[in-house]
Amino acid sequence: MKKECIAMLLAGGQGSRLYVLTGDMAKPAVPFGGKYRIIDFPLSNCSNSGIDTVGVLTQYRPLELNSYIGSGQPWDLDGSTGGVHILPPYMGSSGGTWYKGTANAIYQNIGFIDLYDPEYVVILSGDHIYKMDYSDMVRRHKEAGAACTISVMEVPWAEAPRFGIMSVDGEDMITEFAEKPKEPKSNLASMGIYVFSWQTLRRYLTEDEADPHSDNDFGKNVIPAMLQSGERMAAYRFAGYWKDVGTLESLWDANMDMLSPESGLDLLDEAWPIYARSVNAPPAFLADTARVTHSAINRGSVFLGTVENSVISPGVTVGEGARVSYSVVLPGTVIESGAVVEYAILGEGCRIGANAQVGCAPQGADPDTWGLTVLAPGCPVADGRTIPAGTMLDRSGEEVTK
């Protein structure tokens, strides 16, 4: 089945910088923004952009991600000629290996892509929160006659050294690429979203694979090789909301951004819906004693206490006299009466005992040791226990260090 354009979604990240929060999940399966998981964003963007064939490359702890994606129906990606396909590493007649790098992951699935014989392949990563029309980026790619188009956004100059930085000419064609430069020549950062002309990419992937010294990575190897060979490389400027949620702090920030549409992340806007596989539960109930302000809430939750400046996932219980502020609470967690949760990320299915204290506000805390408090999925906190700010607990409630 010939397709003009298909997408490949790199979802194999271990999420090691999310530490205990991922539990048994791959990073893209981590819940975000109340009812979503991170992978809902690229999948919904594909669906809304008219891309009906998506390969999802997974390798670490894929069970939860695989069952979440299922047939792809929630994202309308269950068509009969395309749809969403989970692509784990596999053994061939001459053996097989783990995905060694982002480029190797695509290399190992050349056979899958060739099935659709596409003109263009969009490469996406599974840890970004943004709304983007990939068809507009493909249009830019075609108009520029490029072999590769990279989406970029302007970042503050001070932050530029954290990113892959592109230098461009007057027509926004890329002249130079520097990975995390100490002295950036530009403030256009790569967002890790690429459009390639497939036959050209196929050739570079094969060459890259033949090089034993390569890390088989797009940013480190394939993009620089293409630039060096003089391929036409276009930049595609993106101005909307985009955030890499690969760290606990950025994940927390992005959740808080959701509460303020001024941040640019307006999920209530239905012009570009983000789809999710949702749980079956009755609407949220707010009791007479509930006081919920500047917060996002979801179905299946019951509120008897106070919630402020927080994002609450489905199926959460906040007991009477309990208070949750500036926190992200993942699905099914129970906060017993009188407990206080501040500046924390609580994993799925945690139980916070009565009158426990989890985390605290930065005001009045020691700025050197203060940080978000993070609990692994299923972590129990005994009644009355105090978990200081900046602490991480694993699923048995033991403290772990970063």
**Phi and psi at residue 45, to the nearest 5°:** -60, -40
Strands 334-335 and 317-318: parallel
Q: Return the number of the residue (203 or 294) whose C-beta is nearest another protein.
A: 294
Which DSSP helix (H) or strand (E) runs through 105?
Answer: helix 102-107
Binding mask 245-264 toward another protein (x if CB under 8 A, else -) reads -------------xx-----
**Of 295, 304, 299, 339, which is closest to residue 315 (Cα–Cα)?**
299
Measured between alpha carbons, how far is 216 from 222 in angstroms, rounded to an integer? 7
Q: Return the number of the residue (311 or 358) whose C-beta is nearest another protein.
A: 311
Rule CB under 8 A: say whether 110 interacts with another protein: no
Shortest distance, CB of residue 42 to another protein, whole angstroms? 16
Strands 306-308 and 380-381: unpaired
Three-state SS for 162-213 is HCEEEEECCCCEEEEEEECCCCCCCCEEEEEEEEEEHHHHHHHHHHHHHCCC
- What is the radius of gyration, based on Cα positions, of the chain? 22
Q: Return the number of the residue (233 or 292) whose C-beta is nearest another protein.
A: 292
Q: Return the number of the residue (112 or 285) whose C-beta is nearest another protein.
A: 285
Amino acid 130 reads Y
Q: What residues have CB less than 8 Å from 276, skipping those under 6 apart?
A: 35, 36, 37, 40, 74
Binding mask 65-84 toward another protein (x if CB under 8 A, else -) reads --------xx----------
Rule CB under 8 A: say whether 115 interacts with another protein: no
* Contact predicate 225/204, CB 8 Å: yes
Q: Return the number of the residue (175 or 289) whose C-beta is nearest another protein.
A: 289
User: Which tokens go with 247?
Assistant: 């760290």
Binding mask 291-310 toward another protein (x if CB under 8 A, else -) reads xxxxxxxxx--x--------
* Contact predicate 153/237, CB 8 Å: yes
> Exactly one of 280, 363, 396, 401 binds another protein (CB under 8 A); which one?
280
Rule CB under 8 A: say whether 45 interacts with another protein: no
Rule CB under 8 A: say whether 91 interacts with another protein: no
Q: Return the number of the residue (36 or 204) whose C-beta is nearest another protein.
A: 36
Measured between alpha carbons, how far is 267 from 384 in angstroms, rounded to an integer? 36
Rule CB under 8 A: say whether 268 interacts with another protein: yes
Interacting stretch for another protein, rule CB under 8 A, among 61-69, 218-226, 280-288, 342-350? 280-288
Rule CB under 8 A: say whether 46 interacts with another protein: no
> Exactly one of 227, 286, 354, 365 binds another protein (CB under 8 A); which one?
286
Rule CB under 8 A: say whether 43 interacts with another protein: no
Rule CB under 8 A: say whether 285 interacts with another protein: yes
Name the site residues for another protein (rule: CB under 8 A): 33-35, 73-74, 258-259, 267-268, 273-276, 278, 280-299, 302, 311-312
